[in-house]
Structures are given as C-alpha cells and as structure tokens.
Amino acid sequence: MHITLLVGTVHGNATLVAQAIQMAADDTHTITLLPMDGLDITVFDTPGVFLICTSTTGVGDVPDNAQALYHALDAQAKYLGHVRYGLIALGDSSYGDSFYGGGRRFDERLQDLGAKRIGDICVLDASDTMQPEEDAIAWFQQWLPLLA
Ligand SMILES: Cc1cc2nc3c(=O)[nH]c(=O)nc-3n(C[C@H](O)[C@H](O)[C@H](O)COP(=O)(O)O)c2cc1C
C-alpha cells in the first residue's frame, strides 16, 4: 500500500519524526514524504492512504508551510469520502488549550469533508517525551494493521 506522508513543521521536529517513520516502513508499504509547502487539496487525489504529521505554532495554529494546504481545504472544499488518513500531532501540553491545535485543525477539517481517520491521533508532547521518533514508530507499527 502507498502512504503519502504530509509534513507540516516550523523547526524540523515533525520532519525528523516523518523520516523515522519512513525508515521504519516494511516492504509491503511505500512511503512518499511530502513537505506540505505549496500543496493544495488535489494532493488528496493521490492513490493510497495519507499520514499527516504536523506540529503546532502560534496559539494552536498550523505551521506556515502547512497554511496553503490547510486553507485549500476551505477554498477548494470538496467531498473527500475516499480519503483515509492517520494523524501524528506534535505539540507541547504547556500551551494548555491550544495543545496540538495544528493537528486538531487538520483532523476537524478533513472529517468535515468526509475523510475518515484511521486509528487514534498520535500525540507527541514535547513536555512529556524525549524520544518522539521512537514513540511515533511504536504508534505507526500499531497503525499499519488498521489499514488492512
Ligand atoms: C512559537 C511557538 C508556538 C507554539 N505553540 C504551540 C501551541 O499553541 N500548541 C502546542 O501544542 N504546541 C505549541 N508549540 C510547540 C511545538 O508544536 C513543538 O515544540 C513541536 O515539537 C515543534 O515541532 P516543529 O519543529 O516540527 O515545528 C509552539 C512552539 C513554538 C516555538
């Protein structure tokens, strides 16, 4: 199965997590890692499933490189009932109510458009883990069988 791994990041933590996931994939899955920069809703026409890996900036906002794609989900809104996705959300619980808000924004908007999230959100809390890559890989190994 093909997985398109969409990465939203400010300082690169989400990219490191995404690269670790890509390295951890077995032979039955191919993963294309795509920084979100400049993407629009047509990326969801790609065959296969999607894995969104995004951090949060500002006060619960999506990273700058994810703004175009996030806003395209409004500006180019269309039914995404064919889309299945997983979500890895980086954040820091010290931000209180805006904790992993960037990931939650994508999750809410994609579900508004009919997309189906597979599995629970993988929340990587900078205040809680020193090993986000390892945590993400452990989540990913549990997530893959849910795609069958
Ligand atoms: C300026 C700034 C604002 C942030 N705002 C939030 C926030 O509102 N909610 C949250 O959960 N994390 C917030 N964070 C924490 C980041 O999401 C977290 O450090 C993450 O690991 C950064 O990943 P990145 O390097 O891929 O952007 C913020 C970090 C910075 C530097």
Q: In this structure, are residues 122 and 21 in contact, taking their beta carbons and an 8 Å threshold?
A: no
Amino acid 39: pLDDT: 98
Question: Residue 41 forms beta bridges with which residues?
Answer: none
Which band of pLDDT confidence, cut at 50, 70 and 90, is reported for residue 87? very high
What is the interface pTM, i.e. ipTM, of the complex? 0.99
CA distance 92 to 88: 13
Range 54-68 average pLDDT: 98
CB atoms within 10 A of CB 128: 12
Going by C-alpha positions, the residue among 36, 33, 31, 35 that lies closest to residue 48 is 31
Which band of pLDDT confidence, cut at 50, 70 and 90, is reported for residue 59? very high
Residue 54 Cβ contacting ligand 1 at under 6 Å: no
Going by C-alpha positions, the residue among 110, 25, 123 that lies closest to residue 66 is 110
- In tens, the pLDDT along 33-58 reads 999 999 999 999 999 999 999 999 99
Above 90 in pLDDT, residue 26?
Answer: no
Q: Which ligand 1 atom sits closest to the C-alpha of 17?
A: 26
Q: CATH assignment of 43-129, given 2.40.50.140, 3.40.50.2300, 3.40.50.360, 3.30.390.30?
A: 3.40.50.360
Q: Domain spans of the chain?
A: 43-129
Q: Which of 52, 56, 127 to mutate to test the pocket of ligand 1 (most atoms within 8 A of CB)?
A: 56
Above 90 in pLDDT, residue 10?
Answer: yes
Amino acid 27: pLDDT: 85
- In tens, the pLDDT along 90-148 reads 999 999 999 999 999 999 999 999 999 999 999 999 999 999 999 999 999 999 999 98
Q: Which ligand 1 atom sits closest to the C-alpha of 100?
A: 11
Ligand 1 centroid distance, CA of 18 (Å): 16
